[in-house]
Structure 1
Amino acid sequence: MTDAPSYGFDTLQIHAGARPDPATGARQVPIYQTTAYVFRDAEHAAALFNLQEVGYIYSRLTNPTVAALQERVATLEGGAGAVCCSSGHAAQIMALFPIMAPGRNIVVSTRLYGGSITQFSQTIKRFGWSAKFVDFDDTDAVAAAIDDDTRAVFCESIANPGGYITDLDAIAAVADQAGLPLIVDNTSATPYLCRPIEHGATLVVHSMTKYLTGNGTVTGGVVVDSGNFDWSASDKFPSLSAPEPAYHGLKFHETFGPLAFTFHGIAIGLRDLGMTLNPQAAHYTLMGIETLSLRMQRHTENAMRVASWLENHPAVELVTYAGLPSSPYNDRVARICPNGAGGLFTVALKGGYDSCVKFVDSLQIFSHVANLGDTRSLVIHSASTTHRQLTEEQQIAAGAAPNVVRISIGIEDADDLIADLDQALNQA
């Protein structure tokens, strides 16, 4: 795939990063279930450890199966490189690790997955970091929240749970004006529906557990580096622009250019944080990505049919699907997510909290799980589960109010899904 940019998405999702195994000719990427790799000689080993040569040392850092996945996701996102890790939450810490320091903050959207809100509002305080939560529909408020200690701006392309679409172009302009990287969680959209780098994102993160793998079998995360940010333009990012003591004063940006963030993520992030993706999980995700476009088309088609039906049901107060003409975010679909608004949205029930619980318990095809992006249709009452740790005010701001149910539409027969929702709503 030496001319990768000339190929279409459907071709790249199968072939990018995958080459016949040189030892056996195996066509599918093998699972390299090994801890360590034999060096050719002492000079070869020294070159690898000095970052003078690219290769394999130890599977906490690099692994051929994982490397194939990194190349595939980076190619699909239009990035310069990628670093895979053990989960989506790990990917978010990996994205922040090279650019943050004690006393620094990030400006983040109020519309985030509940676990991300907890991670940013509580957990990162243990590193001496902090987060400012802002409504990203108000770009003036985003700009006002940025101060001298801000080191990044963070949002989701299609926000979980509500399916809200962020105006990435507008947010990227604010981040660029401040000289800051924009980090976009593209989990709910995938690169088939949205390519945040084309809208000005510096880094893209995924929970590969969701749509990229698509079958609910493994956890995994990835950070994709656009290669477009000038880490040396100011003194705000010394981990990437200043001499690194662990590598005899090497400057990552000066040495590796567009791949500075990627090399730092492997050579320091994975080396010291150890949030490594195992090769078997990488293999499952590679296989899942081979059908990504086909699945996302069906997810989106089904979601549009189901959301349209739900919007007219007498028990339903509101459906948040951005694909609906009634959505205030509908005008962003063609510009930000040209292949559709995805398969994730929420439904507000007129009966409130108790009706939501009864509704979830009455569904038969839909699985009640803390996950999304599966081939199966999934449902969860966010206020009592994924967003339970938040205050009611935070739940409402995140789109997970007590009367709201999150629905992840799968690739089953849409008529069967509608029938299941109908009987459950009648019981609720």
Structure 2
Amino acid sequence: MADSPKHQFDTLQIHAGATPDPATGARQTPIYQTTAYVFRDADHAAALFNLQEVGYIYSRLTNPTNAVLQERIATLEGGVGAVCCSSGHAAQIMALFPLMGPGKNIVASTRLYGGTVTQFSHTIKRFGWSCKFVDFDDPQAVADAIDDDTRAVFGEAIANPGGYIMDVRAIADVADAAGIPLIIDNTSATPYLCRPIEHGATLVVHSTTKYLTGNGTVMGGCVVDSGKFDWSANDKFPSLSQPEEAYHGMKFHETFGAMAFTFHGIAIGLRDLGMTMNPQAAHYTLMGIETLSLRMDRHVQNAVKVAEWLEQDDRVDYVTYAGLKSSPYHERMQKVCPKGAGGLFTFAVKGGYDACVKLVNSLDIFSHVANLGDTRSLIIHSASTTHRQLTEEQQEAAGAGPGVVRISIGTEDADDLIADLDQALTKATS
């Protein structure tokens, strides 16, 4: 299908990037389970390796199934291109790789997934990078944290685990003033609920493992490029603006323009880091995206009903869901995520840590897993699992204190979910 601005989201989530298979006429995108591709001749091979022609060389770099997924996600996000990879964590490294260098830093939100906090606090130090964590509800604090060595600002549109809504435009303005890109993790929102590029984001990352696939079957990640950032405006991003020795001095931004970041992600990132998504995972994710809007509407509908019930329950201290009218983020949600606040939030159980553990162990429909964004409703006690490596201060800042559980509301019947929580809360707080 030739993608058109006239096509709506529900159409694009099914058709973007895909056409019937030219060899067989297959309507569904085939799984191209191959490692390599036959060149037409020696000149064709040379042109591909010199980036003078776009095509398929080796599936660590490019694969036809993955290419459809990349185009579909980029289209839904309003970007010019995308690179899929092996996981959401891989996507974060892929996004930072062309921007960073030894001694450089990023400024990141305190409200991030625990694994991201660990990655940014510890793992990236092995590359000589560092991270400053700041409360993104205070744009001035973000501006104050940026220095001459800062190369990116990083936040989540809907923060995991608390479901807090980020004012993407306010932070984008800060990043723009500093001449550096804003990277938004849009995993919890998906492009159906929030399109960060429209709010000023430069790059968008996803764990496609979550809502985009939606069925808990395969791992994956994606980096989407807005195509709007001028990588040659200053000397901060030499990987994109300066000659690349591996390609005979070619300058990515000069050569590829708005697609510079995407081509670099494939030609350098996937080539050298090797964080490749396998084509079967891409296939499952494509099938999941076909029902994204339908699922997200149901996630939101169920989450509102469950959150409203929890908020009125005496066994619960508080609920963080931005879809509640009582939430301090409700007004922001209507601007950033007008279709709803997603299906992810936390609530605090009276009785603290021990009560949370009892609750998790007493549920029947909710699955106790380290995942989110599934059609099934999921629960986890973040302080003892996903955020366990963090200090208690970091846990509290992330909205994952010891008395809090995170729930990912699925697409089951909401009354059944409420009944399950009701009986488990009785056991947990008796």
Task: Check whether TM > 0.5.
Answer: yes
The whole-number CA distance in structure 1 between the counterparts of 2:215 and 2:155 is: 25
Equivalent residue number for residue 137 of structure 2: 137
Amino acid corresponding to residue 379 of structure 2 in structure 1: V
Deviations 1:81-111 (A, max 9, x none): 0000000000000000000000000000000
Equivalent residue number for residue 117 of structure 2: 117
Q: Shift in Å at residue 3 of structure 1?
A: 4.0
Equivalent residue number for residue 353 of structure 1: 353
The whole-number CA distance in structure 2 between the counterparts of 1:17 and 1:241 is: 29
Q: Does the Cα contact within 8 Å between 2:97 and 2:269 map onto a contact in 1?
A: yes
2:5 counterpart SS class:
helix
Equivalent residue number for residue 287 of structure 1: 287
Q: Shift in Å at residue 2 of structure 1?
A: 2.2
The whole-number CA distance in structure 1 between the counterparts of 2:34 and 2:362 is: 46
Q: Shift in Å at residue 128 of structure 1?
A: 0.1
The whole-number CA distance in structure 2 between the counterparts of 1:343 and 1:419 is: 18
Q: Shift in Å at residue 334 of structure 1?
A: 1.2
Which residues in structure 2 correspond to 1:166-181 (within 5 Å)? Answer: 166-181=166-181
Equivalent residue number for residue 16 of structure 1: 16
Q: Does the Cα contact within 8 Å between 1:82 and 1:225 map onto a contact in 2?
A: yes
Deviating above 4 A after TM superposition, structure 1's stretches of 4 or more consecutive aligned residues are: none
The whole-number CA distance in structure 2 between the counterparts of 1:88 and 1:338 is: 25
Q: Does the Cα contact within 8 Å between 1:4 and 1:16 map onto a contact in 2?
A: no
Which residues in structure 2 correspond to 1:183-332 (within 5 Å)? Answer: 183-332=183-332
Q: Shift in Å at residue 6 of structure 1?
A: 1.5
Q: Shift in Å at residue 122 of structure 1?
A: 0.3
Equivalenced residues, count: 428
2:406 counterpart SS class:
strand
Q: Shift in Å at residue 4 of structure 1?
A: 2.3
The whole-number CA distance in structure 2 between the counterparts of 1:307 and 1:98 is: 41
The whole-number CA distance in structure 1 between the counterparts of 2:150 and 2:207 is: 24
The whole-number CA distance in structure 2 between the counterparts of 1:243 and 1:139 is: 35
Q: Does the Cα contact within 8 Å between 2:105 and 2:149 map onto a contact in 1?
A: yes
Amino acid corresponding to residue 163 of structure 1 in structure 2: G
Amino acid corresponding to residue 220 of structure 1 in structure 2: G
Amino acid corresponding to residue 303 of structure 1 in structure 2: A
Q: Shift in Å at residue 225 of structure 1?
A: 0.2
1:82 counterpart SS class:
strand
The two structures have a TM-score, normalised by structure 2, of 0.99
Equivalent residue number for residue 419 of structure 1: 419
Q: Shift in Å at residue 26 of structure 1?
A: 0.1
Equivalent residue number for residue 147 of structure 1: 147
The whole-number CA distance in structure 2 between the counterparts of 1:351 and 1:125 is: 38
Deviations 1:356-400 (A, max 9, x none): 000000000000000000000000000000000000000000000
| Structure 2 gap ranges (5+) | none
Task: Kindly report the root-mean-square deviation, in angstroms, between the aligned alpha carbons of the 2 structures.
Answer: 0.4
The whole-number CA distance in structure 1 between the counterparts of 2:48 and 2:3 is: 27
Q: Shift in Å at residue 277 of structure 1?
A: 0.1
Equivalent residue number for residue 388 of structure 2: 388
Amino acid corresponding to residue 368 of structure 2 in structure 1: H
Q: Does the Cα contact within 8 Å between 2:85 and 2:220 map onto a contact in 1?
A: yes
The whole-number CA distance in structure 2 between the counterparts of 1:72 and 1:189 is: 17
Equivalent residue number for residue 48 of structure 2: 48
Amino acid corresponding to residue 352 of structure 1 in structure 2: G
| Structure 1 gap ranges (5+) | none
The two structures have a TM-score, normalised by structure 1, of 1.00
The whole-number CA distance in structure 2 between the counterparts of 1:216 and 1:17 is: 23
Amino acid corresponding to residue 81 of structure 2 in structure 1: G
Amino acid corresponding to residue 237 of structure 1 in structure 2: F
Greater mean alpha carbon deviation, residues 1-10 or residues 87-96: 1-10
Amino acid corresponding to residue 283 of structure 1 in structure 2: H
1:70 counterpart SS class:
helix
The whole-number CA distance in structure 1 between the counterparts of 2:135 and 2:201 is: 18
